[in-house]
Amino acid sequence: MDYMNWKVTDLKDKLRELGQPVSGKKAELIDRLQSINLQHPSCSGRLVIDAKPSSSRASSGFDSMTIPQLKAELTKYKLPVSGKRKEELVQRLESYFECQLTGPIDFDFIGRRPIELLMVAEKPSMAQELSHMLAQSSRVNRSSCSNDAIPVFRFSMMFHGYPANVRMTSTLGHIYKQEFGPEVTRNQTEELFEADVINTEANPEKRIPKMLAEIGKGSDALILWLDCDLEGEAICFEVIDCVKNVMIKPPSGNVMDVIYRAKFSSSDEATTAINNLVKPNFRYHLAALAKHDLDLRVGVSFSRYQTSLLRRAFPDRNIDHLSFGPCQSPCLHFCVKQHEKLEAYVPTYTCHIVIALDLGRYELEITSDPIKNQQEADKIYQKLKAEQRCKVVSVERTTHVKEPPKALNTVELLKDASKQYGIGPSETMSAAEYLYTSGLISYPRTETTRYPKNLNLQDKKNKLRRMLPSFPATQSGPALPAIGGRRVQMDDFEEPMDWETIVEKEEVYERGDDKGDHPPIIPTGKAVIRTLNSVQKLVYELVCRRFFASFMPEQRYHSEVTVFSAADVTFKRKIQEIDDYGFAKLLPWEKAPLTRDVPTGILSNGSQIKIKSIKISKTKSTSPTLLSEYELIDKMEKHSIGTDASIPSHIANIQRRNYITVNEETRTLVPTKLGLQLIKAYRECIPKLVETSLRADFEKQIMNIAKGESEFEQARRFILDAFKEQFKIFRNNFHKFTINFEGCFEMKVEGTYGRNGYRNNQNSYNQQPSSSLSVDKRKIIHASRQITDQKTRVEVAVKSNKPVSQYAQHKPFPAVYDRCEQQVAPKVSPVKRRYVILKTYLE
C-alpha cells in the first residue's frame, strides 16, 4: 500500500489501530507500516493467519525496540511501564511471554529460613481439597482473611527440596470485570466500539484484591492453581496484579521470576502438578482479554440500540432489556429455523399392504414397499385377496457390533444429561463444577475424548467398587427419561454389576481424539460426600456410567431381513435380537432396538407361509419436531458457536431473555413471539450475524491469539471492525421492522416507565394508589412496589379494577399469601403458584 500521500496524523491513527508505536517522523511511520504489511498481509484486507507464531512475543523483536516503543508495547498489554533502562523493560516483556521454566527452581538466596509460599485456587472448596492433598501428613489449619470473604489454609511442606510455609487461599471466580468508563452515557451505541473500557471489581463488597494482598504480603513465591482454560489463565493474571506489589522481590528484581503455574485436571493430581510447574500463559490471558472486550462492545451496542428503539416505538409496552450476543443470535436462529420447518410442514400419506402371516405359535406382520396412491393400493389389495400363501424368497442374516463409547468430554456430558436425564446444560455444568471442586471428578471443561496412557483403571475400579455396589441400579435419583418421552426401565438390567468385564484394553486408549487441553471427564475415586443434591448425584452417576462403560465389551446383536413374495408383490420384514448387551448394561439408552414378537431363525428360503389376513395401511409422513437441547448443543459444537465452557450460558441467555421456552418434559426449545420476530428482523438487517460463519471466525481468531498465531491487537481490531460494519447496517435498517414487535410485549404497569420508555423510579415507587381501591388492594400494591424497589420482578397494578400482573418472585404480602394458599393446586411451580395466589386474591 502506498502511504506517501498520507498525512502524519492518518499514519499515526493507522499505527494506533494496529497497536504499534506512533513515535517518529513521517518516513519512520511509513517504514513501520510497510514492514507490518509484509509480516501480516491481513492489514490490507482479510485477516490472514501465519502458520508460525507471530512476533507478539519474539525476544529479538523486543531487543530491537527503542524505550518509547517498549513502553508502547507494555501499554498495549496493560503492563507496568515504569523504568528507564531498556534492559529492564525488555526483561519485563519477556518474563510475561515466557511459558516454560528456563531452569530448575532455585531459592538458595532465601537462606536457611523456610520459603513463604502463597497458593491461590479458583474456588474455596478446591483450595481445601488441594491443601489436604499437598499437606499429606502435615496438619492443615484453616483461618479467614479480615472480612471472612475467602478462607486461608496454612500448612508446611517440602517444595523442590526447600522447606516451605504455605498459605493456600482462593478467588471467587473473576476478580475484575470489564465496564465502560464513566464518560460513556446510556444513549451511546456506535461510540461503544471505540470507547474506553476499564476494569472494576467483580465483587466490590468482598474486596477480593485487598484480601489477596493482605494474605500474600511477604510471600517469596506464588503458585497459581486456577482452572486450566482461557478464563482460568485470565484470573491468574488478575491474581498477579493483586499481589505482585506485596511480594518479596527476588534478586533479579522481577517478581515474575518467582510466579508459577500448576497444571492439573483434578485435586488428586496436585503432587504431580507441583513437581512439574510451568509459567502462567500470557497469550491465553490476552485471548480472554480480547474476547471479553469484544463481547462487551458488540453485545452492549446492539442491545442498547434495539432496546431503546423498541421502547420509543411502544412507550405503553413493558419492554425489558433485549440483549444481543454474537453467540446467542446464531443459537436462537437454530431454534427458529427448526420451528419454521414445523410450521411449514404439510403432511403426506403413503399406502402399504400389510399381511399377517400364521407361523403357528407366532403371528408375523410383513409390509410392502410404499405405494403411490390409494387407487394403486386398492388394485394390489384385490389381486392379493385370492392368495392363500406367501413364499419366503430370501433370508439374510447380518451380525452387528456396536463399540463402547469414547471417553466423556464436556459436550457429550451436556448432551447425555439433557437427552437421557432431562437436566438442562446450565444445571449440568453447575453440578459438574461442584463435583470437580469437591474432588469427585476431573476438570469438567474439556474437548478431549481419549484417555491418557497413565490412567490407573484398577485403582479407580477398586475405590468405586466399594462405593457403588448397586451399580447400575443406583438409587440416586428418579428414573432416567429417554428419547420420545419414554423412561428408561433400569429393571431391564437387574443382575448385579459384573465388575470383571471392566478391564484395561489397548484399543480403549486408541479411541477418541486428544485435543491437547484436559484429559476427559472421569471419576477420581474419592468417597462420595453426603451433601450432593439430586442433580449432582445424577451427573456423578452419568460420569461413572460413561467411564466404566467405555472399558466394557462391545454390544453384539444380529438382524434378519426376510423377503417375501405374494402375487408378484414384494414384502420385507426385519427382525433384530441382542446377543450380548455389553456396555449397554450400564448405558441402557444405547441398546439396539429389538423386535420381540418373532425370534430369528424360524424362517428359511422357499418356505410357504399361510396368509391370515390382508389390509391396506395408510401412514402419515413424519412431522419435523422442535429442536431439542441436545440437538442444539450438537449444532453449536459443529458450527463452532461458543466453546465447551460457554455453550450452556448461551442457551441459558436466550431462555432468560424470553426468546425461547423449554418444554420440561421433552427438553425441546420453543421460540417465543419475541424470539421469532428478532430473528426475522436480523435476517433482513444483518444476515451475517445470525449465520454461523462470522462467530466461528471470531472464536478461531481468539484461539489463534492464545496459540500465538495472531497478534493480539491486530486480531482484536479486525474482529471489531467486522462487527462495527454490521452495526451500521443494523442501525440503518432495524427501524423498518419495529411495527412487527407490537404483539411481543405486555402492556406496561402504570407509572413504572416514563415517556422515553425507561423506568421512571420516582413515579414508579412513590405514586399514591387510587383511593377508590380497597384497603387490602392498596396494601398489596404498596408491598409489591417495595419489592420492586428491591430490584425484583414483581409488578402488580390494578387498572379499571382489574389486575395486570407479571410473575411474582416473592410473597408480596404474607397475610394475603397465607389466606389464598389453600386455593391453589399444590403441584404448580413456586413462581406460577405465587402469581396465581396473588391474581386470585386481587380478582
Q: Which residues contact 105 (CB under 8 A, 6 or more apart)?
A: 159, 160, 260, 277
Q: Which residues contact 35 (CB under 8 A, 6 or more apart)?
A: none
Q: How far is residue 208 CA from its own chain's centroid?
A: 26
Provide the sign of the torsion angle of the four alpha carbons 535, 539, 544, 549, taken in this order. Answer: positive
C-alpha cell at 767: 405514586
Residue with the three cell numbers 482462593: 170
* Phi then psi dihedrals of residue 575, to 5 deg: -120, 135
For residue 465, give Cα distances in angstroms to 201, 472, 497, 543.
46, 11, 10, 15
d(CA 647, CA 652): 9
Provide the sign of the torsion angle of the four alpha carbons 590, 592, 595, 599, taken in this order. Answer: negative
C-alpha cell at 589: 439408552
d(CA 6, CA 633): 49
The full DSSP string for 258-322 is: GEEE---SSGGGHHHHHTS-B---HHHHHHHHHHHHHHHHHHHHHHHHHHHHHHHH-TTB-----
d(CA 441, CA 408): 12
d(CA 501, CA 491): 20
Residue with the three cell numbers 428419547: 483
Residue with the three cell numbers 417375501: 564
Q: Point out the catalytic residue in the list 96, 421, 443, 540.
A: 443
C-alpha cell at 370: 410404499
C-alpha cell at 261: 503455574
Nearest of 168, 170, 169, 171 to residue 155 by alpha carbon: 168
Could you give the 3-state DSSP secondary structure of residue 752? coil
Q: Which residues contact 58 (CB under 8 A, 6 or more apart)?
A: none
d(CA 59, CA 26): 27
d(CA 781, CA 798): 8
Query: Catalytic residue at 630?
Result: no
Q: How many Cβ atoms are within 10 Å of 122's Cβ, its own excluded?
A: 24
Q: How far is residue 295 CA from its own chain's centroid?
A: 15
C-alpha cell at 40: 501480516
Could you give the 3-state DSSP secondary structure of residue 326? coil
- Burial (CB < 10 A; 0-12, 13-18, 19+), residue 774, is exposed
CB 618 within 8 A of CB 349: yes
Positions marked active-site: 443
